[in-house]
A and B are shown apart, each in its own frame.
Chain A
């Protein structure tokens, strides 16, 4: 799996991830912009540094963020910006997010860290009932746009039931919040800065598998990647593949294999799931006539269903085959059975072939 990361970010193996793994630092200057090879957690760390630097009323808090967090995303923040702006909270997700909403309602930027997306459920009430509806029900007198909730999500190989979940579908059902998922370090930094500065509450899921595995050249300056714009990361003519986060690396590998069999695949990174860029996907499907969606979350009720339904509405006559979804199985995320549960490259490849040969 590591080798295919070279398609859109340079590969650097960091095996046996001990917590002390150092980030690679090779600084090169390409024209006016300085780039550095960073992995995902370092890119996010950089984004947080920039966010706190540029807005004096921004705060980062969550469980264990003080020493850098269990994934090292918040390293150096407390030392640099002080314990008044970067602090640990007690273990109460509901309280943490509600507290963040309050801070945001008073005009601050609150960047809340939830230690694992699996633990976000106690906060679900606050996010759905408060954060999403604050601007709406106060008639725009108050809003909690300054709220950004960051959570590591997704499979990690050994996470089991409670360290591997992908809850994005639950949040995509809530009007009023945005859901953003980056695929690589460079994307993550830009998207996180956009999310923090976006005037709406954003739930930002970070693929934890990629924290150390993905390495890419990330510009050192302050840059933002627009939300709600999908990106076509690979051009093709036969079938459109849509995905987000870590799953894209698997899909990329399937695309390469499909190419060997003469199938040209177009791969789209959705980036923002809510509100999602329907036009880009629609244009692509009108060109290729086939769609395949892949995500780690269970297939029933996953976000792939929404994409499928919308594309059917818009492109029905252009479709040559039913929309295919290659997703996790409808079981709790398993421990030992993870390789069987996951939408692996071969499952995607099979689906590509059967869709193309429909």
Chain B
């Protein structure tokens, strides 16, 4: 069954999207590259389908640039959907800003990586998922967890290292898990989560096809541009396409891996092209535009739910802050930063909602206020929460939740007085 991605109305009229055409035609030379600074001319490649019998067919992504004046009956979202998206993005942004404040006040410590600027990707994808769908993320995972439904309180407490955090304070910033919302973790190691997501996707497929359960769950794996040079990524693309798994690989290409520019570290910087090489569609989308991301996500998630296999989606996005809160962010060009700041996804959505009369300023302001209060309350809650007891250190190393630390006298070793000597205040 041939599927075409539906046309999208761009929020910033000049953004074009990549075309990936079916094998019968060669791709026309694309217009000016949307990657900043790339002077590469794109080679025209014909897709080799000599082994088509083993591969799922590659579908076309038809995305046409339309101008701004559109009849209102082709709006992409309803008012309710629009407000949900707006609220989610505002939550992500406020939360991350509050994280930065708390970090500089010493309330949280360790390595914290903020998601400012990339909210459209998280909101665009995760708001289409159900509670039983799984999400796998990277170290930049606060907002993925929030979008998926983990409460701001739980995430903030986790960041503060309190026992009320989503992982009882064990994981911290880079390890947000939630059994309830099927967040299979943030991963500090790049690419480490992708095989985990692939395995999770296999479970859904197995449940549906072998156990004949009514399971339409998909898995979405988020990772960055740097990860696309890592072996684990390719291994999983292969496995996912081979087993036709219900997974969506979402590349949050923000052009920088700490200080390493994507264009200087990748032989072919167009990551979406790596999908067809493995037999799955590859799509490139403007990741600063939540509506475009959502349209592409709808199609990709739909494909996965129907059992048609994986998709690779490359979202062109940008992080407004440094790699982490300890990163002075000196390497990126100010002009590049300004260019992307002008494409702030929240401002763009706000403009869209107001211009298309889906919401007025007042409603949006009240959402912002509500979120501010929510985040403040999360901080208060986290502050007031207790720290985990010392016995928690030895718990959960093995399956026995109490850990393994039983001393010869039959008491848990963590209560042994020697264990608690010489310790500093955390």
Chain A positions within 8 Å of B, measured between CB atoms, are 18-20, 63-64, 66-67, 70, 88-92, 94-95, 118-119, 122, 157-163, 329-332, 334-341, 344-347, 349-350
Contact = CB atoms under 8 A, between A and B. Distances in A.
Contacts of A330: 397, 404
A334 B393 contact: yes
B213 interface: no
A162 B139 CA distance: 11
For the residues of B in contact with A, the DSSP-based class is loop
Given A67-B331, A92-B229, A335-B169, 17 more contacts: A20-B328, A63-B258, A64-B257, A88-B264, A91-B226, A94-B231, A118-B189, A158-B109, A159-B111, A160-B172, A329-B394, A330-B404, A335-B161, A339-B423, A339-B426, A347-B422, A350-B421
**Most chain B beta-carbon neighbours within 10 Å: one of A66, A91, A344:** A91
Contact of A336 (B111, B169, B188, B257): B169
Contacts of B394: 329, 331
Contact of B230 (A66, A91, A341): A91
Contact of B265 (A88, A122, A163, A346): A88
The 10 A-B pairs at the shortest CB distance, nearest first, are namely: A346-B422, A90-B229, A162-B188, A336-B161, A337-B393, A91-B226, A158-B110, A90-B265, A158-B109, A344-B422
B257 A91 contact: yes
A90 B226 contact: yes
B328 A19 contact: yes
Contacts of A336: 161, 169-170, 172, 387-388, 426
A358 B130 CA distance: 62
Contacts of A70: 258
Contacts of B326: 19
24 contacts: A67-B259, A88-B260, A88-B265, A91-B230, A91-B265, A92-B230, A92-B231, A119-B189, A160-B188, A162-B174, A162-B188, A162-B189, A331-B394, A334-B393, A336-B161, A338-B426, A339-B424, A339-B425, A340-B423, A341-B393, A344-B424, A345-B422, A346-B423, A350-B422
A215 to B, nearest CB: 21
A111 to B, nearest CB: 18
Interface in B159-173: 161, 169-172
Nearest to B162: A336
A119 B390 CA distance: 28
Contact of A122 (B175, B231, B327, B418): B231
A119 B232 CA distance: 13
Contacts of B129: none
B147 to A, nearest CB: 23
A157 B111 CA distance: 11
B420 interface: yes
Given A91-B227, A91-B230, A161 B265 contact: no
Contact of A89 (B265, B327, B420): B265
B111 A332 contact: no
Given A158-B111, A159-B110, A337 B392 contact: yes
Contacts of B331: 67
B15 interface: no
Nearest to B110: A158
Contacts of B264: 88
Interface of B: 109-111, 161, 169-172, 174-175, 188-191, 226-227, 229-231, 257-260, 264-266, 326-328, 331, 387-388, 390, 392-394, 397, 403-405, 418-426
A332 B327 CA distance: 26
Contacts of A90: 226, 229-230, 260, 265-266
B260 A63 contact: yes
A77 to B, nearest CB: 14
Contacts of A346: 421-423
A101 to B, nearest CB: 16
Given A158-B111, A163-B188, A335 B423 contact: no
Contact of B259 (A64, A118, A161): A64
Contacts of B390: 337, 340
B174 A160 contact: yes
A347 B420 CA distance: 9
A89 B169 CA distance: 34
Contacts of A350: 418, 421-422
A357 to B, nearest CB: 15
A344 B111 contact: no
Contacts of B189: 118-119, 162
B110 A91 contact: no
B141 to A, nearest CB: 13
Contacts of A332: 397
A123 B2 CA distance: 42
Nearest to B168: A336
A335 B424 contact: no
B91 to A, nearest CB: 25
Contacts of A89: 265
Nearest to B227: A91
Contacts of B169: 335-336
A49 to B, nearest CB: 20
**Most chain B beta-carbon neighbours within 10 Å: one of A63, A90, A345:** A90
A73 B326 CA distance: 16
A161 B188 contact: yes
A345 B260 CA distance: 40
A146 B264 CA distance: 27
A335 B170 contact: yes
Nearest to A89: B265
B190 A160 contact: no
Nearest to A336: B161
A91 B327 CA distance: 18
Nearest to A342: B423
Given A19-B328, A88-B264, A158-B110, A335 B259 contact: no
B258 A64 contact: yes
Contact of B190 (A67, A91, A94): A91
